[in-house]
Chain A
Amino acid sequence: MSAQVVEQLQRRIESLQGGPTRLTVPVHPAIDGLVQLRTGTSYAVDSASLALALAAGASRAGEWVGFAGWGDFGAEAASQWGIDLRRTVLVPEPGDLWLEVAAALVDVLKVVVLKPTTQVDPKSASVLDARLRARSSVLVVWGDWPRVEASLSAEQTAWTGPDRGRGRLDRREVRVAVRRGGRLSAHDVAFP
């Protein structure tokens, strides 16, 4: 335990000294093992719950998280995932300035979930990626992004609970496909 803390601190000191260290960011226990978030990189997801799951770990660890372009943000779901809403910045409608808004948020927040409102061109994506590398932040894009470290997609969802009017939505099993480089792996995950 203490060795871990020492290692963590050493990395932190390296990053303070301006080294290109990539810190790991904790993820929610439900998706532990699927993907390891590292600062300075971007990840793509295709579902709201996966975006919340990726942001939840950092928020549970006491970091600030932000959501840009997500007009129909479910605050209660976020709070059930363990996101502390007091340390959450929400920009529901960044409009045409979503790139600038995301860049400004990346400067100060640990995890930024971005839902681009227009088509992303590789040039603006690379501008944001360059900004990201200079900061210790993680970008989670809900949608398409030219270059990502890994992309997660929810392929199959199976709900348990409702039965022809009886019961209620209870829990779900999601098959999450993780594309990292050329490799593709699928995991069955139980979402809370």
Chain B
Amino acid sequence: MRVLVAWCPDWSVVAGLFEQAETGAAQVPTHDQPAAVLSNNVVEVCNEAARAEGVRRGQRRRDAQSRCPELVLLPANPDRDARYFEPVLATVEELRPGVAPIRPGLMAVPAPGRYFGGEAHAAALVAQHLVEAGVWDCRMGVADDLFTAEQAARQALVQDCVVVPSGTSATFLRDLPVRVLADLVDAGEEGRELADLLRRLGLRTLGDFAGLSAAEVTNRFGAFGRSVWSRTQGAAPTALGSRTPPPELACEVAFEPPLENAEAVCFSVRTTAERFVRSLADRQLVAVGVRIEAESDGVVTSARTWLHPRCFTSRDLVDRVHWQLQAGTAGSGLRSRRDSGEVSAPIERVRFLPDTVESAADHADGLWGGGADEQVTRGVARVQAMIGFDAVRTPVLQGGRGIADRQASIPWGERPVGLRPLDRPWPGRIPGPAPARVFATPLPADVVDEGGRTVAVTERGVVTGEPWRFLVAAAPDPLGGAVRRWTPVSSWAGPWPVDDAWWLTDPGAGSDPLPGRSARFQVVGVDGRAWLLVWRATGWAVEAAYD
């Protein structure tokens, strides 16, 4: 099988420049703009323009910049490289199915024999499409096997193609320097070592290496050397791991003559909806988001994406069609069901397009209680879509003295970071059962002794009077705002004095915890409700309630 390899040199740089252009971070990149991808402050890949200025792979950032001050520096991101290569693959796939991505920047396709008028013409056509897609620098190689085709592509000029005629792979490879082995796709460090070793052994070209006998190569270079050797013979088997184009899952139904009534449409789409759900089920998939399009007179008149809390059944789909067509009529919503059947224009085609599909296994009910965590994740994602990403939270515990310091909440799905350790003693913290309600911002309060004077705590941690009555200024609960009266104290415990962050001279720094002396009290009112009150020099506050 003949193989066509398309190589986009320095793909990381190209992808990085694409990304910059897309995010608008820099001026529109051109191919003659020197640019380099850096990882750990070392140049990993640079483009031709940068090489012309003396930038080399493995150079430090500072050296590279000193040689070429206008160098555009890009962060290394393998995901980005792969992401931007995907549309390039699709471009070639339109010409010839069976594209095998080898790595970002390099792909192989079975070379079309005569279809596009010969291999060179086919390569030119691929190059033309790639350039139209914005990939300026692409080089093609056609040969009997993958290794030779890749080497041929590396020999080619920009947008050009090198065709190695059938049966001449060994001749073509013979004169190449062993240095090319350093860039072997699947070898990495091992390939570089082998190239270096061969050079030191005096084997300068691939022909020298290929001339050794198989037994000698296996003895000296091991299994890896043997596999490379068989490639340099130009006879390695080529197995392209071509990707399968995604299956066509959309279903549509046409009405002849067009239907004018939503009820009639719903009746007629039932079998199509069943077929749609079944074709997904055949692939172990279910749809959780479906786009329904209705066409009249060749124009899409009504299109909407519907999401389902679990997964669509055919009956759900028919319902959605009904709702969608009804909503399209004027004055919908308040009209009775009876006269809302008319649609605005005769429908001649209804199409179901799967918008989001998920594995059917995730949606199955478990036999032993506790639905799958996947379901919970999905359900919570819907809540997040409704009210915002960080409105759904996971509570976590952490160490601290104040009761509000001892807990935190993180956005759902994130990993907690920067929590204080729980396993320290935390002297000054409140012992006993924890309060069920913890106010994020303490509510103002007041505590007085028998004579009506506000109770304070001295520097020695002694109360100036016995708490007699207390007042919680504003209840946070709009439904039960009953705790605004002075409540006599039935019993109290404390104080637990803490002198937090006394080294901070500026108390208004918004620090956590609040600096300065404080003392905490547990106070039980005569109604039996217990509160956690905190005294500071600025006054009393309620931190928590033992409701």
**Do residues A162 and B493 form an inter-chain contact, with CB atoms below 8 A?**
yes
Which of A57-65, A122-130, A178-186 contacts its partner?
A57-65
Max count, chain B CB within 10 A of own CB: residue among A61, A92, A158: A92
Q: What is the CA–CA distance of A56 and B389 in the complex, to the nearest angstrom?
A: 26
Contact in complex: B491, A163 (CB < 8 Å): yes
Number of interface residues of B (CB under 8 A): 62
Q: Are B434 and A77 in contact (CB under 8 A)?
A: yes
B contact residues around A49 at 8 Å (CB): 436, 546-547
- Given the known inter-chain contacts A162-B493, A169-B432, please indicate yes or no for A90 contacting B393, CB distance below 8 A: yes
Contact call A63/B369, Cβ cutoff below 8 A: yes
Q: Distance in Å from the Cβ of A44 to the closest Cβ of chain B? A: 12
Question: Which B residues, 386 to 413, have Cβ-Cβ distances below 8 Å to chain A?
Answer: 386-387, 391-397, 403, 406-409, 412
Residues in A with CB closer than 8 Å to B431 are 168
Q: Taking the nearest CB of chain A, how far is it from the CB of B294, in angstroms?
A: 27
Are the C-beta atoms of B407 and A48 separated by less than 8 Å? Answer: no
A108 interface neighbour in B376, B493, B494, Cβ under 8 Å: B376
Partner of B529, one of A74, A85, A91, A157: A157
Given the complex of chains A and B, what is the CA–CA distance between A129 and B376 in angstroms?
20
The contact size tier of chain A is 35 or more
A114 CB, nearest partner CB in chain B, Å: 12
- Whether the Cβ atoms of A71 and B440 lie closer than 8 Å is yes
Whether a CB of chain A sits under 8 angstroms from the CB of B379 is: yes
A85-B397 contact in complex given A100-B386, A104-B382, A161-B432, C-beta closer than 8 Å: yes
Question: In the complex, A48 Cα to B437 Cα: how many Å?
Answer: 7
**Shortest beta-carbon distance, B405 to chain A, in Å?**
11
Interface residues of A in 141-182 (CB under 8 A from B): 143-144, 156-159, 161-172
Interchain CB contact under 8 A, A89 and B412: yes
**Neighbour of A97 across the interface among B387, B439, B530, CB < 8 A:** B387
Q: Does B522 contact A (CB under 8 A)?
A: yes
Please indicate the chain A residues that have their CB under 8 angstroms from the CB of B435 in the complex: 74, 76-77
**Set of chain B residues within 8 Å of A169, measured between Cβ atoms:** 432-433, 493, 522, 524, 530, 546
- The answer to whether B383 and A61 touch across the interface, beta carbons within 8 angstroms, is no
Chain A interface, >50% SS class = mixed
Min CB distance, A111 to chain B, in Å? 12
A residues less than 8 Å from B412 (CB atoms): 89
B407, A74: Cβ atoms under 8 Å? Answer: yes
> Per-residue CB proximity of A1-41 to B under 8 Å, as 1/0?
00000000100110010000000000000000000000000
The answer to whether A109 and B376 have CB atoms under 8 Å apart is: yes
Please tell me if B445 contacts chain A, counting CB pairs below 8 Å: no
Q: How far is the CB of B387 from chain A (nearest CB, A)?
A: 6
Q: Which of B382, B394, B495, B522 contacts A85 (CB 8 A)?
A: B394
**Which of B309, B397, B408, B476 lies in contact with A79, CB distance below 8 A?**
B397
A25 to B1 Cα, complex, angstroms: 64
Contact between B365 and A86 (Cβ–Cβ < 8 Å)? no
Given contacts A93-B391, A165-B492, A168-B431, are A63 and B397 in contact (CB under 8 A)?
no
CB neighbours of A108 from chain B (8 A): 371, 375-376, 378-380
Q: In the assembled complex, which residues on chain A have CB atoms less than 8 Å from the CB atom of B395?
A: 73, 75, 78, 85, 88, 90
Taking CB atoms and an 8 Å cut-off, the chain B residues in 167-197 that contact chain A are none
Nearest-Cβ distance from residue A9 to partner chain B, whole angstroms: 7
Residue of A nearest to B436 (CB): A48
| Residue pair B391, A165 in contact (C-beta under 8 Å) | no
Complex: chain A residue closest to B382, CB-CB: A104
Do A162 and B492 contact each other (CB < 8 Å), given the known contacts A62-B370, A171-B433, A192-B433?
Answer: yes
Given A12-B367, A165-B463, A166-B493, A92 contacting B438 (CB threshold 8 A):
no
Contact A12 B436 (CB under 8 A): no
Cβ of A18 to closest chain B Cβ, rounded Å: 10
Is B528 in the interface zone, CB < 8 Å from A?
A: yes
Interface centre among B370, B412, B463, by most A CB within 10 Å? B370
In the bound complex, how far is the Cα of B432 from the Cα of A192, in angstroms?
A: 10
Closest B residue by C-beta to A61: B369
A85 to B528, CA, bound (A): 28
Q: Give chain B nearest CB distance to A7 CB in angstroms.
A: 14
Do the beta carbons of B309 and A107 come within 8 Å of each other? yes
In Å, the complex CA distance between A168 and B427 comes to 15
Q: Which residue of A lies closest to B392 (CB)?
A: A91
**B383 touching A159, Cβ below 8 Å:** no
- With a CB–CB cut-off of 8 A, which chain B residues contact A48? 436-437, 545, 547
Q: Which residue of A lies closest to B544 (CB)?
A: A74
Chain A residues with CB under 8 Å of B391's CB are 91-94
Residue of A nearest to B364 (CB): A16
Cα–Cα, bound, A163→B545 (Å): 19
The chain A residue sitting closest to B374, CB to CB, is: A108
B476 nearest in chain A by CB position = A72
Most B C-beta atoms less than 10 A away, residue of A91, A93, A158: A91
Q: Note all chain B residues with C-beta closer than 8 A to A74.
A: 403, 407, 434-438, 544
Q: Verify B403–A92 contact, CB threshold 8 A.
A: no
Point out the residues of chain A lying under 8 angstroms from B260, CB to CB.
none
Q: Which residues of A contact B544 (CB under 8 A)?
A: 72, 74
* B451 contacts partner chain A, Cβ-Cβ < 8 Å: no
User: Other CB < 8 Å A-B pairs besides A75-B395, A89-B412, A91-B383, 13 of them?
Assistant: A49-B546, A51-B436, A73-B395, A73-B438, A74-B436, A75-B408, A85-B394, A90-B394, A104-B382, A159-B546, A162-B524, A168-B430, A192-B433
A residues with a Cβ closer than 8 A to B are: 9, 12-13, 16, 47-49, 51-52, 61-64, 71-80, 85-86, 88-95, 97, 100-101, 104-105, 107-110, 116-118, 143-144, 156-159, 161-172, 191-192
Residues of B bordering A, CB below 8 Å: 309-310, 365, 367-371, 373, 375-376, 378-380, 382-383, 386-387, 391-397, 403, 406-409, 412, 430-440, 463, 466, 476, 478-479, 491-495, 522, 524, 527-530, 544-547
Interface CB pairs A-B, < 8 A, 10: A74-B435, A76-B434, A85-B396, A94-B391, A104-B382, A108-B378, A110-B370, A156-B528, A164-B492, A169-B433
Top 5 A-B pairs ranked by shortest CB distance? A108-B379, A157-B528, A162-B493, A48-B436, A76-B434
